[in-house]
Amino acid sequence: MTPLLEVQNLSKSYPVGRKGLFGKRMMQVLREVSLSVQPGEVLGLVGESGSGKSTIGKAVLRLIEADSGTVRFDGQDLSTISHADLRRLRKDMQIIFQDPYASLDPRKTIRAVLSEALDTHKLHMGTARADRLTELMTMVGLSPAFLDRRPHEFSGGQRQRIGIARALAVEPKFIVCDEAVSALDVSIQAQVLNLLADLRAMTGISLLFISHDLSVVRYISDRVMVLYLGKVMEVGPADQIHFAPRHPYTAALISAEPSLKHESNRIRLTGEIPSPLTPPSGCVFRSRCPYALPACAETVPPLRDMGEGRLKACIRDDIL
Ligand SMILES: Nc1ncnc2c1ncn2[C@@H]1O[C@H](COP(=O)(O)OP(=O)(O)OP(=O)(O)O)[C@@H](O)[C@H]1O
Ligand code: SF4
Ligand SMILES: [Mg+2]
């Protein structure tokens, strides 16, 4: 099957500090990241804070420019298409943020917010508009009677439902959900996750689901990709990643889950994540890896195909 989204060797760095004698110092936050999302698939992206998850989400939507690499969406190379084509494609690629409040204008009613999204792409104009707004509210489990309310009149979970309705309004093929449930209470989190799962089943939409919480990612994803310091550590089917991780970093993330915290064989992560300005040589995870060997410092482990849709970037096959 042709992937809906195909990203190859995406790298991104940001300038840091003041300009010195030799120009600005650069901090590399993505290191040759490749990924693909099939039509109707949910790919989960997990990693600690600062690992580069949001940078991937933004680069995929071309909200920021990558240094190198390619992004193909629906068969088109986003780096070479015209501005007009990119504008058209934007309808098919939406994003939902962690804090919908920050992206909802407090002065606008929900009717205005959703209408604006439809107007941008000239969808459901005229008499069809009212039916579409009712349909969108129903889809996300909100009463259409709330259409004339403003964002502050809703709870956090309800506001996130509005964010989802706004993303769905233009019938996209793909949504980046960037920490979309992270700010919600656990019970509300489960409701919003269930809603996203139902909408996926109903519409066949694809998601890139970003979270620092592996248990949340696993719940909704078909496949999971694990990121550390801007580098892909492991990729595989969600359940296999959870029950049989092959990379020490994934195993450490799973060991840190609250339900497993008291098990004796868990892998403990020691030390802080290194700064992206001074990453370890060779394997970027080596300064915190309990299995590191001298050889791990020498070369960057390639992302190897382990069969059955699993990939890992670790030189050792004797540990997990
Ligand atoms: N505009 C920017 N300018 C400079 N550095 C940036 C910029 N945006 C992100 N960074 C840095 O890039 C790195 C990756 O950031 P990113 O936001 O992608 O991480 P993340 O995995 O989404 O983290 P979080 O879980 O905290 O949201 C971080 O070190 C961050 O400080
Ligand atoms: S390559 Fe070495 S340091 Fe990196 S995860 Fe594997 S064992 Fe650990
Ligand atoms: Mg982020």
We report the CATH number of the domain holding residue 82 as 3.40.50.300
Q: Which residue has the tokens 């078909």?
A: 222
CB of 283 shorter than 6 A to ligand 2: yes
pLDDT tens across 162-184, in order?
Answer: 999 999 999 999 999 999 999 89
Eight-state DSSP code of residue 223: E
Distance from residue 42's CA to the centre of ligand 1 (Å): 23
Ligand 2 pocket mutation, candidates 315, 317, 319, 320, criterion most atoms within 8 A of CB: 315
Residue 95 Cα to ligand 3 midpoint, Å, equals 13
What pLDDT band is residue 269 in, cutting at 50, 70 and 90? Answer: confident
Ligand 1 close to Cβ of residue 47 (< 6 A): yes
Evaluate whether residue 165 is within a structural domain. no
- The 5-20 sheet, strands edge to edge: 23-37, 5-20, 68-73, 76-77
pLDDT at 217: 95
**Quick one: the chain helix, strand, coil %, rounded to 5?**
35, 25, 40
- Residue 122 inside a domain? The answer is no
Q: What is the pLDDT of residue 193?
A: 95
- For residue 50 and ligand 1, the question of a CB distance below 6 A is answered with yes
For residue 210, the ligand 1 atom closest to its alpha carbon is: 22
Q: Which residues does 23 contact at the CB level (< 8 Å), separation at least 6?
A: none
Ligand 2 center–CA 261 separation, angstroms: 23
Pairing assessment for the beta strands 93-96 and 174-178 based on DSSP bridges: parallel
Q: What is the pLDDT at residue 257?
A: 80
> Which atom of ligand 1 is the closest one to the Cα of 227?
21
pLDDT band at 272 (very low <50, low <70, confident <90, very high): confident
- Are 301 and 315 within 8 A, CB to CB? yes
Which domain, by its residues, includes 237? Answer: 5-92+172-244
Q: Is the residue at 49 inside a domain? A: yes
Ligand nearest to the CA of 318: 2
Is 26 part of a structural domain of the chain? yes
Whether residue 156 lies inside any domain: the answer is: no
Distances (CA, A) of 48 to 52, 156, 162: 9, 24, 27
Cβ neighbors of 184 (< 8 A, separation 6 or more) are 156, 157, 160, 192
pLDDT classification of 280: cutoffs 50, 70, 90:
very high
Give the pLDDT confidence score for residue 102 in this predicted structure. 80
200 C-beta closer than 6 A to ligand 2: no
Q: Give domain status of residue 293, yes or no.
A: no
Q: Is residue 114 part of a domain?
A: no
User: What is the total count of domains within the chain?
Assistant: 1
Has residue 260 been placed in a domain? no
